[in-house]
Structure 1
Amino acid sequence: MSSIAEALRDGTARLAAAGIDSAMSDARLLLMHALGIDRTGLLTRAAEPLPPEAAGRYADHLARRAAREPVSRILGRREFWSLDFALGPATLDPRPDSETLVEAALAAAPDRPLRVLDLGTGTGCLLLAVLHDRAAAFGIGVDRSEAAARVARDNARALGLADRAAFTVGDWATALAGRFDLVLSNPPYIPDSDIAALEPEVREHDPRLALSGGADGLDAYRALAAALPDLLAPGGTAVVELGIGQAADVAALFRGAGLDIAGTPHDLAGIPRCVVTKKSVGPTPDCR
């Protein structure tokens, strides 16, 4: 029977042989999950034998990761904005780059009562991260997938935000009435012809509905440009995630819809990651 330290070493070697760049950190996370312990426990128990039940779970985890299933999918969870989110087959796996969108949204959203809308909510990570940091805000998340909406509702409940978040199933804006102070969206933006070349972790495990942006990757942005003028309250802000190289095209679509571009914040790699667009308040009516 191998020790916990030996199991970690062997698991790292197996993942490295499968071409996993993050072999050591992935093996560590999978072993911790199999044992039900944290990193401190892994260190303090390194010399102990690996229990048979944990060894079986770990072997299954390693096989799935070697087949290029993401660690977050194996664990069924992902940390985002320092919050814990459950995933499901119908939801996108939240990426750290999307935290740029949350930062931009919070910078644009004063700490006062706000109506927030998240289009294509998935796990609910964008909406729930904003609600976590804006205690006076209420939000609605919309997704075309009923399964994704269920995951988002469960995440809201687990994070203690269910009383300020509602989720509905619909084709984005067509399911809604009313105006919002803040609109969030991480739309599908991968050109259809590029999907086959994506990493298998994305191509084979993220739902195609959350990836496919049409022939040029801009279909969802065209729909957003048409919908946002009616969804935003006067002076309202929309923060929309971008694919690489899409900033100029998306900004042009939003300007064409009569919206103002307030910025295109960059992620940690220096890539424009989202566009911040605003609906002008408009001139004050002449009541003379």
Structure 2
Amino acid sequence: MATIAQLLRQGSQALASVSQSPNLDTELLLAHALNKPRAHLHAWPEKRVEDPLLSCFHQLLQRRLQGEPIAYLLGTKEFWSREFYVNSAVLIPRPETELLVEHTLALIPKDCPVLVADLGTGSGAIALTLGLERPNIQVVATDRSLKALKVASENVQRHRANNVHLCQANWLSSFRPSSFDLIVSNPPYIAPDDPHLNRGDVRFEPRSALAADKNGLAALQTIGAQARRCLKPGGWLIVEHGWDQRPAVARIFESLGYQEVTCFSDWQNHPRVTRAQWSS
């Protein structure tokens, strides 16, 4: 047996070589194993932890030592102040993607019943956030992965988002012309040979949600081309992309006939989100 304080100390020391936040990681894992809030750990530091809870903590710690992301170990990730269920079938929602949601919401009047498509929805974090923040809209959330849609379905049920509808589809190939007022996507945009794909948390995430051919631009090109048919006149396409892809994304959208092509930067001043309007 060991006390909570001893486990926190041991875990932090063990994770120091693999995590930038070993103390926080250890607290999260131990609280998860004990099924208690983190405050409990500090309120009862001398409390002894016995099996099977001790074994559960050690198993979680070993998985973290191997690099598995905290979000997968806990089964949840916060996004836009809400908790979303995640597993290895979906990309872990990231803080920078909140910029995509912010600028998407800016395009949707609060009382306007528009129809939105979220392409490659994964966990459904983007679609659900839009649907919950704008209850009058309808969101069609698509993914070609049935495993990803199962995760998104769990989140739809958890958040009781009756205006979010899931659909298995390969981007926009299944939809009728002029179907949507707005199309949003955080597609794969990393080049397949990017060395970052073999480092850190991304090693455990689905490669199909991260990497795309043509130096990471293939999915963005496909979405831009298909969205022209599926957007209503005056509709908007808005996407997340890599910080160094701003010029390429702008060229793609402009060559496809989009207007009002505008890029927005994240909190680190990195170009991260581009929107464009289809007026034909």
TM-score, normalization by structure 2: 0.95
| Percent of residue pairs bearing the same amino acid type | 35
In the other structure, the counterpart of 2:80 is 81
Matching of residue 69 in structure 1 with residue 68 in structure 2:
yes
In 1: Cα distance, 2:214 partner to 2:172 partner: 22
In 2: Cα distance, 1:261 partner to 1:83 partner: 32
In the other structure, the counterpart of 2:163 is 164
| Aligned 8 A contact 1:119 1:185 in 2 | yes
In the other structure, the counterpart of 2:140 is 140
| Aligned 8 A contact 1:118 1:140 in 2 | yes
Equivalences for 1:12-91 in 2 at 5 Å?
A: 12-16=12-16, 18-91=17-90
Deviation digits for residues 2-49 of structure 1 (CA, Å, limit 9, x no counterpart) = 211111111000001x33211111111111101111122122122211
Structure 1 residue runs without a partner (length 5+):
283-288
How far off is 1:262 after superposition? 4.3
| Aligned 8 A contact 1:183 1:239 in 2 | yes
Matching of residue 231 in structure 1 with residue 249 in structure 2:
no
| Aligned 8 A contact 1:251 1:261 in 2 | no
How far off is 1:200 after superposition? 3.5
DSSP 3-state at the match of 1:192? coil
DSSP 3-state at the match of 2:225? helix
Tell me how many residue pairs correspond in the alignment: 278
How far off is 1:261 after superposition? 3.4
Matching of residue 119 in structure 1 with residue 83 in structure 2:
no
In the other structure, the counterpart of 1:285 is none
How far off is 1:52 after superposition? 2.3
DSSP 3-state at the match of 2:265? coil
Amino acid at match of 1:69: E
Deviation digits for residues 38-97 of structure 1 (CA, Å, limit 9, x no counterpart) = 122122122211232221111011100000000001111111111111113221111111
How far off is 1:239 after superposition? 1.4
In the other structure, the counterpart of 2:249 is 250
In 1: Cα distance, 2:107 partner to 2:133 partner: 13
In the other structure, the counterpart of 1:108 is 107
DSSP 3-state at the match of 1:264? strand
- Cα–Cα, structure 1 residues 113 and 277, in superposed 2: closer, same or farther, change >3 Å? same
How far off is 1:196 after superposition? 6.2
DSSP 3-state at the match of 1:216? helix
| Aligned 8 A contact 1:193 1:215 in 2 | no
Amino acid at match of 1:56: S
How far off is 1:208 after superposition? 1.1
TM-score, normalization by structure 1: 0.93
- Cα–Cα, structure 1 residues 195 and 170, in superposed 2: closer, same or farther, change >3 Å? farther
In the other structure, the counterpart of 1:186 is 186
| Aligned 8 A contact 1:195 1:212 in 2 | no
Structure 2 residue runs without a partner (length 5+):
none
Amino acid at match of 2:67: R
In 2: Cα distance, 1:130 partner to 1:106 partner: 7
In 2: Cα distance, 1:94 partner to 1:199 partner: 17
In 2: Cα distance, 1:187 partner to 1:195 partner: 19
In the other structure, the counterpart of 1:10 is 10
Let me know the Cα RMSD of the aligned residues: 1.4
- Moved beyond 3 Å, runs of 4+: 195-198
